[in-house]
Amino acid sequence: MTDNSIIAWFTDSENWSGSSGVPARLVEHLAICAWAMGMALVIAIPLGIWLGHINRFGILVTSIANLGRAIPTFALLIVLASWDAIGVSDLAAIIALAVFAVPPILTNAFIGVRDVDRDCTDSARGMGMRPAEVLRLVELPLAVPVMAAGIRTSTVQVVATATLAAFVGGGGLGRLVVDGFGRQDYALMLAGVILVAALCIVVELLMAWVQRTLTPAGLRIQPQVAA
């Protein structure tokens, strides 16, 4: 193995075409993430908004968040992949990642709507808005920054964790890492490491920009400390 091998790998056109080329693996990776995020959003956003609006079951939301954090995605992935009903596939990865993505989205949607200033909702009600209008015209717009922060956290984590799909026979950029490791092909593995790291950093920057864009200037929140 020489230092040139990794450069040689990246400049070899073989590695950029076909079903195991970088573009194909990247598309697989993003498809897994998109399905997982889609499932998580469809479940967590309406549920979080509704629970935040009625301001109840806060303990349920916290418990889901804590339990979700305690279940390792790796373990869940393997449980799902070895379950006959799902099997070794991208589906196992998609479900595991969706489960993993729900807690931050749910928590932030819940908190975002619940913590809207009482004065604002009271004024809206005083102006004669119906509950549905209060939700749509007051609570939701004010909750957008917090919800966007949750979606950003989930997206970045999902794109990073999707590399694990390769462990259970799924596709994505993790394939390069796991196959490279399995074949003791150092250049392939390192190429996978570099590509995966680069993708995650790009997605992180992109989502930071999306979050900023979605947040009205007057509502920009300070970076929050984990607690």
Partner 1 sequence: MLAAAVSADASDNPWFSWNYLQTNGDDLLIAAREHVEITFVSILLALLVAVPLVLLVRRWPRSQVPVLAFSGVLYTIPSLALIAGLWPVFGLTPWTVIVALAMYALLVILRNILVGLDSINEELIDAARGLGYTSRQTLWRVRLPIAIPTIMAGIRIATVSTVGLVTVGALVGHGGFGSVIFNGFVNNFYHAQILAGTVCVVVLALLLEGLLVLVERMLTPWVRVAK
Chain residues that interact with partner 1, rule: CB under 8 A: 66, 69-76, 78-79, 81-82, 84, 156, 160-161, 163-164, 167-168, 174, 177-178, 180-181, 186, 189-190, 192-193, 196-197, 200-201, 204, 225-227
Smallest distance, Å, CB 150 to partner 1?
16
Work out the burial of residue 196: count CB atoms within 10 Å of its CB; fewer than 13 is exposed, 13-18 middle, 19 or more buried. buried
In the complex, least distance from residue 83 CB atom to partner 1, rounded to whole angstroms? 8
- Helix, strand, coil share of the chain (percent; to 5): 80, 0, 20
120 vs 193 by CB, closer to partner 1: 193
| Least distance CB 117 / partner 1 (angstroms) | 22
- Beta carbon nearer to partner 1, 129 or 160: 160
Distances (CA, A) of 75 to 80, 88, 166, 168: 9, 14, 14, 11
- Residue with Cβ nearer partner 1 (54 or 205): 205
CA distance 5 to 92: 34
Quote the least distance from Cβ 108 to partner 1, whole Å.
Answer: 16
CA distance 156 to 215: 18
Q: For residue 153, which amino acid is it?
A: T
Greatest CA separation for the chain: 74
Min dist. Cβ of residue 78 to partner 1 (A)? 5
Nearer to partner 1, 109 or 190 (CB): 190
Nearer to partner 1, 50 or 89 (CB): 89
